[in-house]
Structures are given as C-alpha cells and as structure tokens.
Amino acid sequence: MGTRYGRETLVYYGPVTGRKWQLQGPGQENHPVTLLRSPKGFFGTGLKVNRRAAPRSRVSRLVSVVPEPLTLELTVDIKASTHEETRRVVEQFKADWPASSAQRDALPPTGRLALNDGHGLWKYLDVFRTDRFEDLIGIAPMAVGKAKLMIIASAEDPFPYGDYEPIRMDVQPGGWRDVELFNDGSVPASPRFHWKGRPATLKFKHGREFEVKVSSEALIDFNPTELVVTEGNMAKPIITTWNHDPGFVVPGSSKATFTFSSDTAGVGTIHMPPRWEEFY
C-alpha cells in the first residue's frame, strides 16, 4: 500500500484544472488521497537576521544573515468507505511519510513538489518533511470515512522556487554583466538577486537604469509590482515602488536579459522563482 503514495513527488494543478495537490505517479489519478492547498499556503521571511547588542548600549551589531526556508502547509483530505478503513489509510499514510531526519536522509530526493497550470511543462520544487508529522486533526464524526491531516513541507534550498538552477557569479567592480534568464515553464517568473560581499552600489538596467545601495549581504526581489530589498542589517525590508515601470517578469516559455553592475567585488546569485503565489 505504501508504494501507492509515491514519496518522490507532490503535484500541483493550477487554477485552470482546479487547485488540487495530489501525488504523482502511475495510477495516482485514482488515488483516494488528495492534498488540498492550505489557506496559509507559502510563508517565510527569506532571511533570518541575527544581531548582538553591545553592553550598556542601544546599538546592536550584525552577527549573521541566514537564508530561511519557506514553508508550505498542505491539508491532506483522506476519504474511504468506513471509519475503520479511513483510520487504516491514515496510519499507513503517516507510516509512509518520513518521520525522522534519519529516514529522510535515507531517501534519494526526499520529496519534489511539481507545479503545472494545465498548459505547460512541469516545474519542480525540492522539499523535505519535518521531523514530526503533524498529528491527526480529527475524523469528522458526521462524514463517514473522512479525515484531515496537516503536512508541513519546508524547502531545503533557502530559495525554494522550482528547478531553475541558481546562477552564481563572482562579480568584479565596474562593467555591466548580462545574464540570460530562461523561463521554460508556463508560469511567469521573476528573479531574486542575492548579494554577498562588501557594501556596494548595485546598478540594474530594466525599463530604466537605477541603483540600489546595499550592505555586505542583501536579497533583492524583483517583484512584478515593486522592488523589495531585504538587507542583513535591517529589521524590515526596504520596499521601493517601481512607479510606472513594471517589475522584472519573464513570461512563460520565453527568455530575458538581466543586466547589472557593482562598484565593489562580491558574489551575486540569481534565482528565478515562478510567481505562482499570484494565482491565489
């Protein structure tokens, strides 16, 4: 029975074909377990900033900036003909779901979340399960053979947005860098630019040339409607509206050139997250 669940991939069908999560694999379309999207959906800060206060002072200094994984909560809707059968399926499902880090590490990819809006290619998100499977929320007494559980799947990658490989570059001061960004899926994607190095003035060419002054570590999200800069020494993100200029969005099945420069040396990493949160 365990093999019916398929540990490798969870599948998301976008708004065209219905907002459902289900396990991918041969015969899974008839499987009694359906993963429904939680109202909470994705959440997370992206960056965790650790500070240390100086003795007898209000001043704190930056200790470290750690990229945080985003978390996805999924409600599992299990249906069977009787309460007994439902409980048996629930227990089997929980047993098949890796419940400890040892079990998790023993599996090849611990999990993959597949994204598809019904019109294009698949996009995948590597995920792992938390060490503790959330306990049974409850079996509805008025609905025979129905149970709901909660799964929390957090991405191992601090930038968990699909199978777009992150592009890492050693950046030297001066001169423009052109990076070709491909989006071979049908879901629009926007880049996120992570900077690590010395404090820098980063310049970008998109719509109009503009610059962003950042500290030694920052994450710049080229949101479709606004530019969000999260710096390592800031308590809150710096949000800069784009006014009449659109954000950097690469439509589905297309490519675009991302151009930038820096006045200091550092490491720049570009990630291309699909903007699937816009569907909700």
pLDDT, tens only, 161-220: 333 567 889 999 988 999 988 765 555 677 888 899 999 999 988 767 888 888 888 888
Return the exposure string of 156-179: e unless at least 16 CB atoms fall within 10 Å of the residue's CB, then b: eebbbbbbbeebeeebeeeeeeee
Q: Does residue 159 belong to any structural domain of this protein?
A: no
Q: Does residue 160 belong to any structural domain of this protein?
A: no
What CATH number is associated with residue 80?
2.40.30
User: Of 15-24, 112-121, 193-202, 234-243, where does mean pLDDT reach its minimum?
Assistant: 15-24
Quote the pLDDT of residue 21: 39
Residues 253 and 193 in one domain: yes
What DSSP state is assigned to residue 166? P
Residues 146 and 209 in one domain: no
Residues 56 and 182 in one domain: no
| Band of pLDDT at residue 260, cut at 50, 70 and 90 | very high
Residues 145 and 16 in one domain: yes
What CATH number is associated with residue 193?
2.60.120
- 3-class state of residue 65 by DSSP: strand
Q: Does residue 161 belong to any structural domain of this protein?
A: no
Q: Does residue 10 belong to any structural domain of this protein?
A: yes
Quote the pLDDT of residue 261: 95
Classify 91 in phi/psi space as left (phi over 0), alpha (psi -120 to 50) or beta.
Answer: alpha
| Band of pLDDT at residue 104, cut at 50, 70 and 90 | very low
Residues 215 and 236 in one domain: yes
Quote the pLDDT of residue 198: 92
Final residue before a domain boundary, out of 154, 186, 217: 154
Cα within 13 Å of Cα(139), Cβ side? 17
**Rounded distance between C-alpha atoms, residue 139 and residue 133, angstroms:** 17
Residues 80 and 202 in one domain: no
Quote the pLDDT of residue 259: 92
Q: Does residue 207 belong to any structural domain of this protein?
A: yes
Domain, as residue range, for 101:
2-154
Strand partners for 65: 49
Quote the pLDDT of residue 121: 46
Quote the pLDDT of residue 224: 67
- 3-class state of residue 155 by DSSP: coil
Check: CB of residue 9 under 8 Å from CB of residue 25: yes
What's phi and psi for 39, nearest 5 deg? -60, -30
Asked whether residue 126 carries a pLDDT value surpassing 70, the answer given is: no
What's phi and psi for 236, nearest 5 deg? -130, 155
Q: Does residue 162 belong to any structural domain of this protein?
A: no
Quote the pLDDT of residue 221: 79
